[in-house]
Chains A and B, each alone.
Chain A
Amino acid sequence: MHTIRFSAILMILLGLLSSCEKVIDLKLNNSAPQTVIEGTVSNEAGGAKVSISLSKKFTDDSSFEGISGAQVTVEADGTIYNFDPTATGVYQNATLVGIPGHTYHLTVKLNDKTYTSTSTMPQIVKLDSIYVVDDELSTNKDKTKLRIAVVKYQDPANVQNYYRFIEYIDGRKEKSLFIDEDEFTNGQTVNSRLNFNNDNDDPAREIRTGKTLMVEMECIDAAVYKYLFSLNSGSTGNDNNAAPSNPTSNITGGVLGYFSAYPITRKTITVPAN
């Protein structure tokens, strides 16, 4: 988010020079389906969840295609927690509540293969407050000012911190990925914007007066940050990246996805009039 939006400016100006977009039929090679594992442990009950799915062809519908029959466990401080399927491809443990500073070991056994990962839950950095500002450049589809959520928090000095934010508008989760780190803001009070591009002009994604805005803040570890960073820059297919590539997973064994243990704090406001 601190990434200065230079490319956005470039895009606007290129847009001026007559850019014309058209959906085209493109023949793409299809790889064999790949296994995707997404595992989380949070400091709240119900936050321990592992989703296992298969990748699909580009032309298929995008829905989640869960894989059942996996054996999922997380080990922490000598205790092994078994994860039970709650839906196809979704495995959960209701009792595992993570503690900051502790390390969690994920093991997934699926079709004679074993995938493992480790994540240490960072210390809590609390989300101080959230508020809304007007964007200087963009508007909503109906030409009203685009409004953006801002998060405020105090970054601790002397330790590297990585954050992920999740924005909910009227309870609907925004699918854009918001991540941040303290490389340029170490030890500071940070006010950071949750910028995203409403690329399908969906009114439900717009922040409007009277809507309920909630933001969750996760403190994530370095490997997860690296994964999410490269996921965001390489795999969305929507930027000018010269050569997109798969993100660097922190799970061994050759799968897509990540495993993250994080503490969570959240704030909710009703969007005031602007």
Chain B
Amino acid sequence: MKKNGPLRFPNLIYPLMKLYQLLSIFFCITLILTFSSLRVFAQSPLDKTITIKLNNVPLKQALDKITAATGVRFTYNEAVAASNIKLTINAKAQSLKQVLEVALANYPYNYSQLDQDILIRYDATKLKKPDAEPAAKPAAAGKFTISGTITSKQSGETIIGASIRLVDGAQGTSTNGYGFYSITLQAGDHQLLVSAIGQKTLVVPVSLTHDQRLNITMEDNAQELQTVTITATQKGARDLKSPQMGVEKLNIKEINDVPVLLGEHDVMKTIQLFPGIKSAGEGSGGFYVRGGATDQNLLMLDEATVYNAYHLLGFFSTFNSDAIKNVSIYKGDMPAQYGGRLSSVIDVKMNDGNNQKFGVSGGVGVIAARLNVEGPIQKGKSSFLISARRTYADAFLKFSKDTVVKNSQLYFYDINAKANLVLGDKDRVYISGYLGKDVLTANNVNGINWGNTTATLRWNHIFNNRFFSNTSFIYSNYDYEIKVKQDVNTYKITSRIKDWNFKEDMQYDVGSDHSLSFGVNSVYHTIKPGEISASGNSGIISQTLETRYAWDNAAYVSDTWKVTDRFSLTYGTRLSAFSIIGPGTYYDVNADGAITNSTHYNSGQIVKTYVNLEPRAAAAFQLNDISSVKASYARNAQNLHLISNSTPGSPTDKWVASTNLIKPELADQFSVGYYRDLAEHKYEFTFETYYKKLQNQLDYRNDANIFTNQPIETQLLYGKGRTYGAEFLLRKKTGRLTGWVSYTLSKSERLIDGINNNQWYNARQDRTHDLAVVGIYKLNDKWTLSANFVFYTGDAVTYPSGKYQIDGATYYYYTNRNASRLPAYHRLDLGATKQLKKTKKYSSELNFSLYNAYGNRNAYRIFFRDNKTDPNKTEAVRTTLFTYVPSITYNFKF
């Protein structure tokens, strides 16, 4: 290893590094100034004083005059603007609050603060007063449903997770993964406040006398300083009412300013800055959610399972941020529609493609280039999107003097493609696909390539105002191929996991109090664990390991019940049935891992079916306008297991389905949380705590041979686990400065028969402390600065506690598993984005980032060896991967 690194990034970039060191000091100073100047923004518009005299002035004109006098803007709908009421005001140095209070006292209108603006809205409750405005209609009886799709005006993209609620916040809902919403309200006049990240907030008046379809288009928030501050901060921005806990929803626009390694925006890296989601370390794309292993995360791209979510040994995720619209992360409390993994669900939704106009965007960075093309097929009705990436890091290899390095390849590419078609008012069809491939070759002879392929065909159908259905057919494939050539010998090893998947998800809005979701899911898995073909004189016989087949079925039903205005409940269950299907030979194994019996099953014969009832329940109680408490319980079962024996994880880690011996892994998670909006909804605070019990956990035996063709069960041991922790998040979503502070205190342990003398031991991912601070500062129209800092307790590892001689060589003696710690990890990253040119047709920006800005030498791993000069001595050696990695990326759009 040591001899093979003549080309090293630090050497290449040393001069740049010095420059960036200076810059980083500059950035630090800027940020400190920023934090201290924060308070300037705090004054409420309602506190402004005003001196004004108005006599019988129509409402709209009166408001305009107040704006002229104070600079405070008002937001209202057309009904307010057209109102025929007239105001008389006589104020001398009074606060705006007092003025409005008096002026509107006798009219059915209300005022409230909406960030820096004031929202004027119709208020039916004031109608009971004797001199109410006669214009108000009498309330019609009964309840009706409004439903529709919310899309972006500019791109025609459906908007996921947009909030639709009554302006007084009493009732609300949000759009589903396809931009569809349905809300049932009392008959009469209402004002709906529609908001979404990156979109201008709308107030939509509705007069409800019958069920209604209402498709809403929202305008993008232009990248202007002024408007950035107005992004939705109405009451309950974080869904204080919704019982869903342990969730982070990210719009891709939110992550684009977070600094990243080598300038490649990466949703998977950004989510690791949230509490409870922890990086598995540099050089690994994996992450741990609430003490679970990396394989306990379900990664879905447009509903298709992605088995290996990483490129280039984990440095990049397979999710190209150009093609992604939205990411939702459920940390163990997943809704009943999801299942199959214990720790989390990462639901990634691709962009649909702009159905309004044709556009090209892309970027060129230090190691990769991206291109994204999208446009309408038929304007407003159908669109397509193609997004591709390729790295060219291997171009640097050509500069190497070492011929082995020179003749090596190291790259990945991926392509996302999607098309969608609106078929009338009620139907929409989507076709999307992903293809990604990694290639690593050394000296043109030895190499590995691996990749995912997914394809999804979906059909959205709206049966009626209350009933939404999505039907999906999904194909998913992951495979790798290793090629080795040695002397006269060649070897090829291949492995694959392939799924055919059918999903039917339905949402039914029963009425204002109940909303049902239910569905079925059926997946057919084919797992080819390995095939080796060899030629030459090595004596290795070409062979194929038995292919495994499994049929994974599930059905679920879940009801969200609004019990009272303050109390809501989601309860439901998922029933999963995992059948292992022949042909194949299955074994019995004794305590030492030796095979005692084998049974052959014919094609189609069922070897075993595991049925698991997975109940889920969650409740939210809203304490007041700004705070709520929630509690939740969820059980999850997992029938696909990734068996890995290496620290960073590798593309060759084995996916194994449950067998007669490998039981489904089970997790029961209990959690409680407290949520609060602070400082006029500018900040949100979240506190969640959880306890998770794990059953049927797997680990390799101490003497396991991972390259055997013996049944995998001969190499495994089984046990249980427990994890618990507390997570804190303070987030600022508006203003020039946005960002968050996240902190997790946690514990994760395992107890496996035959490991660590059958005592509880720390899981490798046990992290006592984990802190992340993210700040994004919009300096002006041109510059956005950003920084993030992470600190976490080092991984639990096993260090030697002695050494001994066997046949003249030194070996190490180990006592307790994972009783030691890698040194604590910490790192600061800096980023800056400069908007270059911006016209209606063309815009471009430059992004600078510096990863590990103060060059902390974090331990990638620590190993032990004989001293080179004195073999009688042993020493500990720390390997560091990245210190100071600067990058420049140029992004364009036209």
Contacts and interface: CB of A to CB of B under 8 A. Distances in A.
Q: Bound pair: A and B?
A: yes
Contact of A11 (B1, B707, B877): B1
A63 B866 CA distance: 12
Contacts, number: 292
Contacts of A177: 807, 809
Contacts of A61: 872-873
B801 interface: yes
A26 B799 contact: yes
B708 interface: yes
A60 B810 CA distance: 12
A8 to B, nearest CB: 8
B17 to A, nearest CB: 12
B563 interface: no
Interface in B858-882: 860-866, 868-869, 871-882
Contact of B703 (A55, A136, A173, A248): A248
Contacts of A273: none
B166 interface: no
A16 B802 contact: no
A183 B652 contact: no
A113 interface: no
B601 interface: no
Interface string B531-562: 01000111111010000000000000000000
Interface string B781-813: 000000000000000011111111111111111
B883 interface: yes
A38 B539 contact: no
B874 A62 contact: yes
Interface string A236-274: 111111111111100000001110000000000000000
Nearest to B592: A248
A105 interface: no
Given A18-B8, A38-B807, A240 B647 contact: yes
B871 A5 contact: no
B539 A24 contact: no
B382 interface: no
Interface stretch (B402-410, B602-610, B675-683): B402-410
Interface in B248-267: none
Given A199-B865, A242-B644, A23 B875 contact: yes
B176 interface: no
Interface residues of A, number: 93
B442 interface: yes
Contacts of B803: 55-58, 60, 62
A150 B539 CA distance: 13
B539 A189 contact: yes
A11 B798 CA distance: 21
B812 A31 contact: no
B804 A22 contact: no
A114 interface: no
Contacts of B489: 191
B138 interface: no
Contacts of B538: 2, 185, 190-192
Contacts of A10: 313, 440, 650
Contacts of B874: 58, 62
Nearest to B5: A15
Nearest to A257: B806
B270 interface: no
Given A9-B440, A200-B868, A240-B861, A235 B879 contact: no
Contact-residue bracket for chain B? 35 or more
Given A6-B652, A137-B443, A240-B861, A18 B410 contact: no
A20 B877 CA distance: 10
Interface stretch (B35-43, B154-162, B445-453, B769-777): B445-453
**Most A-side CB within 10 Å, residue of B5, B798, B861:** B5
B590 to A, nearest CB: 15
Nearest to A25: B876
B486 interface: yes
A26 B876 contact: yes
A60 B875 CA distance: 10
B863 A9 contact: no
B877 A21 contact: yes
Contact of A18 (B652, B799, B882): B882
B214 interface: no
* Interface-central residue, B708, B710, B801, by most chain A CB under 10 Å: B801
Interface stretch (A71-79, A96-104, A117-125, A224-232): A224-232
Contacts of A15: 1-2, 4-5
A230 B705 CA distance: 8
Contacts of A209: none
B811 A242 contact: no
Interface centre among A21, A57, A155 (most CB of B within 10 A): A21
Nearest to B708: A183
Contact of B799 (A25, A28, A199, A246): A28
Contacts of B510: none
B247 interface: no
B709 interface: yes
B7 interface: yes
A86 interface: no
A159 interface: no
A34 interface: yes
Nearest to B491: A4
A30 B539 contact: no
Contacts of B646: 7, 240-242
Interface string A141-169: 10000000010100100000000000000
A229 B703 contact: yes
B872 A62 contact: yes
Interface stretch (B79-87, B319-327, B456-464, B814-822): B814-822
A56 B404 CA distance: 40
B811 A236 contact: yes
A19 B448 contact: no
B76 interface: no
B5 A18 contact: yes
B702 A29 contact: no
A33 interface: yes
A23 B881 contact: no
B449 to A, nearest CB: 12
B703 A36 contact: no
13 contacts: A10-B313, A15-B4, A19-B5, A21-B877, A29-B819, A29-B820, A36-B806, A138-B404, A229-B703, A235-B812, A236-B812, A237-B800, A248-B703
Interface of A: 2-7, 9-26, 28-31, 33-34, 36, 38, 53-58, 60-64, 133, 136-139, 141, 150, 152, 155, 173, 175-177, 183-186, 188-193, 199-201, 226-227, 229-231, 233-248, 256-258
Closest 4 pairs between A and B when the two form their complex, measured CB to CB: A190-B539, A188-B539, A230-B703, A237-B864
Interface of B: 1-5, 7-10, 283, 313, 315, 397, 404-405, 408, 410, 440, 442-443, 445-448, 482, 484-487, 489, 491, 493, 532, 536-541, 543, 644-648, 650, 652, 702-703, 705, 707-710, 755, 764, 797-815, 817-820, 857, 860-866, 868-869, 871-883
Given A16-B408, A31-B801, A229-B703, 4 more contacts: A11-B4, A24-B862, A192-B538, A201-B868
